[in-house]
Chain A
């Protein structure tokens, strides 16, 4: 399957400011690409170039085979775009705004009404359709922006921080919506919320200072974490020392990290040396000590730590858990 979005050597300079230095990646149908990076990394600028709002200083962006610069109308027809902050005409009602976008998207009469109704249903906007957009809450505004991006069933969706400012329930709804569309589209979402990557992305690109620093599946990022395959035990505080010496016998165990909890309990985490699974063996070792174990679990990688390491260089993780 050829890529729906092909980005090659994209650069954007604003005078002396190098907003995007050199960004290349592909997105295929069925992929949800998380575009990660600290604020000011160039995420939004890159998205603006893919959608044809900004012209790149160098490089090309192709959407469904159409060069965004050379063939902007054809490319834009195939893109649904939610710009950062979900801008919409404040004086219009949600209904007339969606009707306008549907009209520009080339739908007429009954087809237009049908498209708008479907988008309204998917984003659950029915209750506020006749309110002016500037009276809407942030969550509804964001959903109006999403409805606008979805209504022509685009092959490519570019969503700039789609869940920013939403409450947990709304976040959940938006994520389910994105997941439900993932199979037949190529989707790019930008975010700085790491849990989002875990929740919906099949792939994540980390960008900082205008450059792509990493590109892989969420699992591949977890593997980079020193917490990957670490095993945590919750035991009575008094037994921590004994458990620690028992576990230290395992050849793959490197460091330990200890966190004191409530009710005389503490957590001891055995960090892996070799990056191999060791849950079963450590479990056996621990049980052999006869200590009362309240909980055992294998840690997943910590994305926030990996993200920090990638974007700022190595950072020493604190001894907390």
Chain B
């Protein structure tokens, strides 16, 4: 556990040691606000909620989270530091969890910095702050899902570009499987059970449920098991690389 904390600190510090963190934070905040106000019609809707803010999170995460996750393992492999890191007395599990938590904390910081939106909506009207909180919680859970996928893919290659592209593609598959576009494609001929299953595998389905203010145990279990699965796969990839 203490190793996880040390790895966590180093990784999180690693984001802020370079301009990467600041570039990411600025772009995330600018894009999140742009989507909210222009595409989401925050003002025109005339409703005191952050629905128009959260709706775009899956699409924002789709390419921003792989950008955070891509360096986690690829960079270590490219720099050769992985040889140093994995010959320190840490278990692969500690390494995987420490890195994941650091990246997740970074996303958490980015998300927390959107607080002016929350203040704005409270100044303009009387929103249900419970629903907004649920929205933030859901967004954070969903980001964990994207991150776990990104971290796992990052362990496979030493090229950050490949890590980014592949992670974005996998994340895309997990996102759109719940979109009307994909579901309509299957709905015409596939049995309803199958369509339902596909939808259930989507981030969108679970995320939308949470942002409506309903935190269902099933949605939490979905994201938790998804994260657990991909972190487990991440550790397995690291172990496999060891065998050469």
Residue positions of A touching B, CB distance < 8 A: 12-14, 48, 51-55, 57, 72-74, 76-77, 79, 81, 83-85, 87-92, 96, 100-101, 103-106, 132, 145, 148
Contacts and interface: CB of A to CB of B under 8 A. Distances in A.
Given A76-B89, A87-B79, A148-B84, A55 B6 contact: no
A190 to B, nearest CB: 14
A300 to B, nearest CB: 37
B88 A105 contact: yes
B125 interface: no
B243 A100 contact: no
B243 A83 contact: no
A92 B17 contact: yes
B194 to A, nearest CB: 40
Interface in B79-93: 79-81, 83-84, 86-91
B79 A53 contact: no
A51 B79 contact: no
21 contacts: A12-B244, A14-B244, A48-B83, A55-B244, A73-B89, A73-B90, A73-B91, A74-B89, A83-B80, A83-B84, A87-B80, A87-B81, A87-B84, A88-B81, A89-B79, A90-B79, A91-B14, A92-B17, A100-B6, A104-B89, A104-B90
Nearest to B7: A104
Interface residues of B, number: 24
B87 A51 contact: yes
Q: Give the most central of A55, A73, A104, A148: most B CB within 10 Å.
A: A104
Contacts of B90: 73, 104
Nearest to A80: B87
A267 to B, nearest CB: 46
Interface in B1-39: 2-3, 6-7, 9-10, 13-14, 17-18
Contacts of A76: 87-89
Contacts of A89: 10, 14, 79, 81
Contacts of A87: 79-81, 83-84
Nearest to B3: A104
Given A55-B243, A92-B17, A103 B6 contact: yes
B188 to A, nearest CB: 46
B45 interface: no
Given A87-B83, A132-B17, 7 more contacts: A12-B244, A53-B242, A73-B91, A89-B81, A91-B18, A92-B13, A105-B89
Nearest to B242: A55
Contacts of A81: 84, 87
B91 A100 contact: no
